[in-house]
Structure 1
Amino acid sequence: MVTIKQVAKEAGVSVATVSRVLNNNGYVSQEALTNVKSVIEKLNYKPNSVARSLYNKTSNMIGLIVPDITNPFFPELARAVEDVAMIYGFKVVLCNSDQEPEKEKKYIDLFKQQYVDGIIMTAHSYESEIYTDLNIPVVALDRIGNTTLPAVVSNNYTGARKATDLLLQKGVENIAHIRGPRGVAPAEDRYRGFIDEVNKKNADYIIEESSFQLEGAEKKAREFLRAHTDVDGIFCSNDVIAVGVLKEALKKGIKVPEELQIIGFDGSFFGKMIYPELTTVSQPIYDMGAMATRLLIKIIEGNKPEKIFYEMPTTIIERSTTRK
């Protein structure tokens, strides 16, 4: 591998001069500039990105923290972040926090050591100061909680109200909501949307709580369907929970949607991979990831964004788990 010393020797200049050429920093005579560039091309020299990041305190890298990479929602977000970042010349470092604040902190320390230029965080940290004290641009995506950070979210509250209203319109008499984990902002907003809509319609309801992981959702669904045999409509806080309910209902011989109607939330590819296909509240997942990335890069480049909070609309995709 060709080193910077070899380039300097071949060009007849100092290592410092080669470094100034590579980093476009400091004075270099036109003759030296031309000579160094010629040698770099001749020797096919590839600068050490780690060394350059240490020198410049920048890396053209964006850190992305997700809480659970097995949840189909987050790979779709990550794809959008990577696609847009590549267009602007940035690389993406993806980290999975497993919803553990300590693991999240370790990744943030790693980002600081690697001089990432900015961070997109979809993990839900209960210690927001670990982001606000970073002196690195940060954009919150999806799971924002109470934060003053620039953020991109979808309208979870309105989406939940639409889903609840749709079930009631389709003749559901005994409605339930299997909500997501407490303290997770989208789950809280969807819960509030459900509660406000059933109260508006004076409908009786049941609330249960589940994790956003499939194994936990299936376990909760087994318990729920055993205990609440009269429920004929369930709004689930995400598509993973909805798929868990659907699987367990079919195992028990419950006809969907004739006897039980189910609506999920996310609009991930997951809902089209099962049968019957899932009716869901669709978030613009790719657009959310793309918007968050463009917002972050604008801040990294020192440009003032038009606004720092984007709430994107949700729509219902009707498939086969609700009646026609």
Structure 2
Amino acid sequence: MRQDLSIREIAEKAGVSIATVSRVINNPEQVSQSMLDLVLPIIEKYDYVPNLNARNVFSRRSNAIAIFVYDMRNPFFLEIIRNLNILALENDYMLLICDTENDQDREREYYRYCRGARVAGIVLTEGVFSTSSSDAIFGHSEGFSKHNIKLVSIDRPAGKNIPVITSDNVKAGYDITNYLISLNHRRIAFAGYNKQLQSINERFKGFQTALQDNNLQFPKEHLFAFSQLSKEAGAEAFDALFKTSKFNPTAVVCANDEIARGLINRANGKGFTVPEHISITGFDGVDNSFSWSPITTMKQQIKVMTEQVFNYIVDDQYIPMSRLEMIFTPGETTMAI
């Protein structure tokens, strides 16, 4: 029965202090079971908190899932969010989007908020944070178990005992480079290297291995590193590539599709035709419908990734520590020479 009682009145009816009632609601793990058995029935009887929060108190977790994203401009992350949100809505869950902007302090604040809100799970996506810094922020997964919060990562090394769902980026880098080589390209550049992003490091490793296996040279001026994997970075890569290179490449492997789009746009603006003058490839396979022509890319299995994440958080389904194979998706940005 609803009487709009105050926390003081709940405390009086239970015969405890206001501070004790507050701990029962906000930090039940700090309260003895006997105290929970005393106070919770009164909270339930008088419907002291809104239904959602009341359910949180009794189950010690809510129907919310948080996702930590470091770059909301990246279509790959937006597609992950879109797929997770569909699953959440279909199953009466709510998705909380935490835009960290690659700031560890902000990520810590989001974590404190999620812990206080007793979210069902937190999904980490790749940022420039190292494994050690993730450990510093989140600790070990046992700390989350105490709060009944599931922690899972997509494409991000996240520390001890935290499940990671990722793609086989090394193989994808190798396969897309071999495809260009099969088209007779011998001078191939790489745009978008970032040593702090594991997925990009792995793609570059596959790229290098393919060149080595085919006895092809890789001049240092054909490697372009950027902190942001954006269209602007792709435009900068094109300008630098054709300004400093002693022998211009015939193809460019871009670290993601956004860089590929930026490079294509700048090439068109400078009077180059893609793929007649230069072939360009990407990674992720997201949002191709908005390109002036479909990009030849390696497509990540985002639907499978998000389903595994959701099922792990909601149904505690085991996630095998495996890498999903990327799917080669031919487009209109490559051709044989």
TM-score by length of 2: 0.77
Quote the offset at 1:69 in angstroms.
1.2
Aligned partner of 2:215 in structure 1 is: 202
1:289 to 306, 324, 332: 306
**Does structure 2 retain, via aligned residues, the 8 Å contact 1:250–1:256?**
yes
Encode CA deviations 1:144-163: one digit per residue, 9 max, x unaligned: 36654112111111111010
Aligned partner of 1:170 in structure 2 is: 183
Q: Find the aligned partners of 1:56 and 1:319 in 2 and give their Cα distance.
A: 49
Write the mapping of 1:29-108 to structure 2, written as runs, cut at 5 A. 47-54=50-57, 56-108=59-111
**Does structure 2 retain, via aligned residues, the 8 Å contact 1:272–1:278?**
no
What stretches of structure 2 of length at least 5 have no aligned partner?
A: 6-12, 15-35, 39-44
Q: Find the aligned partners of 1:171 and 1:187 in 2 and give their Cα distance.
A: 25
**Does structure 2 retain, via aligned residues, the 8 Å contact 1:79–1:286?**
no
Aligned partner of 2:162 in structure 1 is: 149
Encode CA deviations 1:246-272: one digit per residue, 9 max, x unaligned: 111111112211120000000001x33
Q: Find the aligned partners of 1:160 and 1:143 in 2 and give their Cα distance.
A: 18
Query: How many corresponding residue pairs?
Result: 288
Partner AA of 2:236 in structure 1 = K
Q: Does 1:298 align with 2:290?
A: no
Q: Find the aligned partners of 1:272 and 1:202 in 2 and give their Cα distance.
A: 36
**Does structure 2 retain, via aligned residues, the 8 Å contact 1:145–1:184?**
no
Q: Find the aligned partners of 1:68 and 1:235 in 2 and give their Cα distance.
A: 22
Q: Which moved more, 1:289-298 or 1:45-54?
A: 45-54
**3-state DSSP of counterpart to 1:219:** helix
**Does structure 1 retain, via aligned residues, the 8 Å contact 2:192–2:229?**
no
Partner AA of 1:250 in structure 2 = N
Q: Find the aligned partners of 1:146 and 1:195 in 2 and give their Cα distance.
A: 27
**Does structure 2 retain, via aligned residues, the 8 Å contact 1:97–1:123?**
no
Q: Does 1:264 align with 2:267?
A: no
**Does structure 2 retain, via aligned residues, the 8 Å contact 1:173–1:232?**
yes
Aligned partner of 2:21 in structure 1 is: none
TM-score by length of 1: 0.80
Runs of 4+ in 1 over 6 A off after TM superposition: none
**3-state DSSP of counterpart to 1:220:** helix
Q: Which moved more, 1:215-224 or 1:109-118?
A: 215-224
**Does structure 1 retain, via aligned residues, the 8 Å contact 2:312–2:318?**
no
Aligned partner of 1:189 in structure 2 is: 202
Question: Alignment identity in percent?
Answer: 23
Q: Find the aligned partners of 1:287 and 1:55 in 2 and give their Cα distance.
A: 32
Quote the offset at 1:52 in angstroms.
4.2
CA gap of 1:120–1:218, structure 2 versus 1, over 3 A, is same
CA gap of 1:176–1:139, structure 2 versus 1, over 3 A, is same
Partner AA of 1:276 in structure 2 = S
**Does structure 1 retain, via aligned residues, the 8 Å contact 2:120–2:313?**
no
Quote the offset at 1:55 in angstroms.
5.7
**Does structure 2 retain, via aligned residues, the 8 Å contact 1:80–1:287?**
no
**Does structure 1 retain, via aligned residues, the 8 Å contact 2:193–2:223?**
no
**Does structure 1 retain, via aligned residues, the 8 Å contact 2:156–2:164?**
no
Quote the offset at 1:51 in angstroms.
4.8
**Does structure 2 retain, via aligned residues, the 8 Å contact 1:66–1:122?**
yes
Q: Find the aligned partners of 2:99 and 2:231 in 1 and give their Cα distance.
A: 17
1:276 to 277, 293, 309: 293
Q: Find the aligned partners of 1:147 and 1:56 in 2 and give their Cα distance.
A: 26
**Does structure 1 retain, via aligned residues, the 8 Å contact 2:249–2:278?**
yes
